[in-house]
Amino acid sequence: MGYYTDFSLHIKDDVNKTLMGDDGTKTRIVNYIKSLGDSDYLKEFIDEDGFHDGNTMNAKWYEYEADMRKLSVAVPDVCFELHGEGEEQHDLWISYFLNGKMQRCEAKVSVVYPEFDTEKME
């Protein structure tokens, strides 16, 4: 069994300004990921054309925090934004990684039902 999460990896543009156009930065990301073992989940975010902002995967990636911290140390000038959507309803979050540090932001979800009103019955 296990718990699947949909992951989406982005480069946070407002922190990195124009880094998405910097092929050297993308190359450093790809080179680091390629240097990892074959079983590393980060490899799911690159393909033969390189790193593409917003690539997604569905996985049981329990070590995402440690893996992303290592990636952010390897490419310290890039702020990564990892979106997660778990199997359970309302399991939504974003984690930001910059130079080995992380901030996790969980979604604030609220369900509000209107009060019962007999006048609205049909």
pLDDT, one tens digit per residue, over 53-85 is 888 999 999 999 999 999 999 999 899 999 999
Residue 39 has pLDDT above 70, yes or no: no
pLDDT score for 56: 93
pLDDT score for 32: 93
Residues in CB range of 72: below 8 A, 6 or more apart: 78, 79, 80, 97, 98, 99, 100, 101, 102
Cβ-contact 7, 42 below 8 angstroms:
no
SS3 per-residue string spanning 46-89: EECCEECCCCEEEECCCCHHHHHHHHHHHCCCCCEEEEEEECCC
Q: Which residue has the tokens 């952010």?
A: 72
Q: Global pTM?
A: 0.82
